[in-house]
Amino acid sequence: MSWRHGFRSARPARRRRRIGCLPLLAIIVAVIVLVAAIALRHRALPQPQSIAAAPPKSEVTHLRPVASFASIGNPQARSLALFAEAGRVIQHPRCMNCHPRNDRSTQTDAMRPHVPWVSRGADDAGEPTLRCSTCHHAANFEASGVPGNPKWKLAPIELAWQGKSLGEICRQMLDPARSHMDRAALLHHMSEDELVGWAWHPGGKRAPAPGTQADFGALIKAWLESGARCPA
Amino acid sequence: MSYQLVVNGRAHQIEEDGLTPLLWVLRDTLHLTGTKYGCGIAQCGACTVHVDGQPMRSCSLPLEAAAGSQIVTIEAVAGAEADALRASWVKRDVPQCGFCQSGQIMSAVALLRVKSIPTDDDIDQAMSGNICRCATYNRIRAAIHDAAGSSSSPANPA
């Protein structure tokens, strides 16, 4: 009798265990279904995107045309105004970086010291042990971002512009002892020199000098013809 | 387009875009993998090779500009300077990870060919474009002095 009683009392307990497993099973199934739903939900696949052939060009700024200065009646004031407009090019980082106050060029719009450390050397194109041409070649090279030009080198130390006012730069340019140029050579340098022209085609993400070299040359020519006045 | 390239004394006809950096022609086309890719923007010097005897960063030299020149890589650099540097490099146990070392050697060889007895300043200047992530600069300088037979600086290994 006792075993029968015991048997009877055991059956409800087993039933309770079975009932107890069902919610657990249901939770596991629900988790699996949820994970599957998340994993298999509809998503848009990434689409191929074309890579730009060249980095976006920097915004080009313009120079005032020489004709716009004709309204300035005073020749001295007109000459000063012409040079002030040309000064937007002269004092642009594309030009100033190669007219350092010492033997080391600067770079970027922030005009940071050149990296790696370099020195101008006897010919302004680098020391014999580290020439500019170690990295800079005949043209800008977009793959590495390194700018280039066949005449790549620094301006002579006598033509250091960094740290000088526009007036000081002006007087320096007009002094053949320092610029090594008479006025005809100065005009040619500004309006036609290939390395000066690089400033308008610097490549990469570098901001070009304002306007064009032709616009700049026209301003310099008009300034020279108007008496080549220098700001204070 | 096809370009004639003379590398380590052997002429090769290279069928690649002219704007391909020389570094990738050396590594991928000619399988000269001693020349390393470090930064790709001519800032680290790991890719230095000699072009007509002058050290140049091959990552910033397009194939079309290198064509027709005599190119020497770390695999074939030779001569008294290279032998002396190789010996001093071993003696000083210069490399740590070693990744930059082919570029360091190529610049050092070019330096000794220009200045056989360089000063510390000469070395700093010539090697300023070669970066070493492990900062083995003291050993590099000492090894160059050893190779040059110079006693202008106490050679303190790092």
Question: Over the range B77-107, which residues count as b (16 or more CB within 10 Å of their CB) and which as e?
Answer: beeebbebbbebbeebebbeeebbbbbbbbb
B113 touches chain A (CB under 8 A): no
My answer on whether B139 and B108 are in the same domain is yes
Q: State pLDDT tens for residues A102-115.
A: 999 999 999 999 99
My answer on whether B90 and B46 are in the same domain is no
User: What one-character-per-residue DSSP string does B46-105 give?
Assistant: TTEEEETTEEEEGGGSBHHHHTTSEEE-TTT--SHHHHHHHHHHHHHT--SS-TTHHHHH
Query: From the CA of B133, how many Å to the nearest CA of chain A?
Result: 15
B134: in domain:
yes
Residues 128-157 (B) with a CB less than 8 A from some CB of A:
128-129, 131
Q: State pLDDT tens for residues A61-93.
A: 899 999 999 999 999 999 999 999 999 999 999
Phi/psi of residue B58, each to 5°?
Answer: -70, -15
pTM value?
A: 0.81
Does the pLDDT at position A5 exceed 60? no
My answer on whether B51 and B103 are in the same domain is no
Does the pLDDT at position A199 exceed 80? yes
Does the pLDDT at position B128 exceed 50? yes
A205 vs A190: CA distance, rounded Å: 23
Q: State pLDDT tens for residues B65-110.
A: 999 999 999 999 999 999 999 999 999 999 999 999 999 999 999 9
Domains contained in chain B, number = 2
My answer on whether B62 and B90 are in the same domain is no
Give pLDDT, residue B154.
46
Task: Read off the pLDDT of each residue in A9-35 and give the average, rounded to a whole number.
Answer: 76
Q: Rounded to whole angstroms, what are the CA distances from A160 to A9, A139, A174?
A: 106, 25, 14
Nearest to B128 among A130, A138, A139 (CB): A130
Q: Is B56 in Cβ contact with A133 (below 8 Å)?
A: yes
Nearest to B126 among A129, A133, A141 (CB): A129
Does the pLDDT at position B36 exceed 70? yes
Give pLDDT, residue B90.
96
My answer on whether B7 and B54 are in the same domain is yes
Task: Read off the pLDDT of each residue in A9-16 and give the average, rounded to a whole number.
Answer: 55
Q: A153 with A121: CB under 8 angstroms?
A: no
My answer on whether B11 and B68 are in the same domain is yes
Give pLDDT, residue B158.
42
Helix, strand, coil percentages, rounded to 5, for chain A: 50, 5, 50
Reported ipTM: the value is 0.91
Q: Rounded to whole angstroms, what are the CA distances from A192 to A66, A103, A145, A155, A186?
A: 18, 26, 25, 16, 10
Query: From the CA of B128, how many Å to the nearest CA of chain A?
Result: 6
My answer on whether B9 and B52 are in the same domain is yes
Q: Which residues of A touch B118 (CB under 8 A)?
A: 129
My answer on whether B17 and B66 are in the same domain is yes
Query: From the CA of A129, how many Å to the nearest CA of chain B?
Result: 5
**Domain finish residue from B23, B51, B72:** B72
